Amino acid sequence: MNSYQNPLSLGYYPFPETSIPAHVERLKEDAEGWLDNDYIFLTASERRLYKIANLAYTTIRMLPNENTSYERMKPAVRWMVAVTVSDDYYELSTREEIKHAAERVRSILLGADPLPDEMAFFHQYAIMRDEYRAFMPNEWMERMAKDMYEYLLFGIREMTAYTATGTRPNLAVYSIIREFDVAVIPFMNFVECEIGFTLPKHVVDHPVIQRIRSLMGKIIGFQNDFYSLEKESVRGTSKVPCDL
């Protein structure tokens, strides 16, 4: 018997309420302002859909700490908008285009300036970088640059072959790809920004921590799939993953 039930069909949020910062509405206004003023390549209807997604609340739900300051939360929301828009933008891109994007994001996070004619999300990543530099060490930013590079190269890029042909990887292959292509691993770095403590490199590189990061990528990736399965099936898109 199929016991799966899409949370959307319940009509309410089925998980425990968590404390959220008082400045959440200010962050929502920021996100909507970026969509209107920076992501001008999007159509009005596309911007409306991103606003409905309420990416500021999405970020805060994933970093539930009512004591996190506005200054520490704002760049995480900026990242959430940028990564969501760019994920959709590159859905039908070539492997070469995504490899170039991965290299540009890494370079920008490590200090390069975006070119004037580059897409808005590259400029937003540069602003995010500068915001985090105010309170995070270079070691953290270097890790973030590496994680974003791998998200694009090993996640988004590897899925393009299947997206372009409308095919699906087998479960073993998909499990590897899914570890990277939901951007969970780079997002986990924001926890350190929230608590004001940076894990030393030798701790992050420890096999146990690396295994935890890997499992988090897979678990949340698969959770996202089951949550989205009904929607993507109705849309008939190639985003429906392997035969879940």
Residue 161: predicted pLDDT: 83
Indicate the pLDDT class of residue 179, thresholds 50, 70 and 90: very high
Residue 122: predicted pLDDT: 98
pLDDT at 73 over 70: yes
Q: Is residue 3 domain-resident?
A: no
Q: Is residue 112 domain-resident?
A: yes
Q: Distance between the two ends of the chain, CA-based, in angstroms?
A: 15
Lowest mean pLDDT among 6-10, 12-16, 76-80, 144-148: 6-10
Q: How far apart are CA 145 and CA 185, in angstroms?
A: 11
Domain count for the chain: 1
Indicate the pLDDT class of residue 1, thresholds 50, 70 and 90: very low
Domain that holds residue 153: 20-235
95: domain CATH number is 1.10.600.10
Q: Is residue 15 domain-resident?
A: no
Lowest mean pLDDT among 64-68, 187-191, 196-200: 64-68
Q: Is residue 14 domain-resident?
A: no
Q: Average pLDDT in the 105-109 region? A: 99
Residue 44: predicted pLDDT: 96
Residue 226: predicted pLDDT: 80
Indicate the pLDDT class of residue 91, thresholds 50, 70 and 90: confident
CA distances to 119, 137, 205, 242 from 195, rounded to whole Å, are 32, 14, 20, 37
Q: Is residue 73 domain-resident?
A: yes
Q: How far apart are CA 225 and CA 244, in angstroms?
A: 9
Percent of the chain beyond pLDDT 70?
87
Q: Is residue 184 domain-resident?
A: yes
- Residue 50 vs residue 8, higher pLDDT: 50
In one-letter notation, the amino acid at residue 105 is V
Q: How far apart are CA 125 and CA 113, in angstroms?
A: 10
pLDDT at 107 over 70: yes
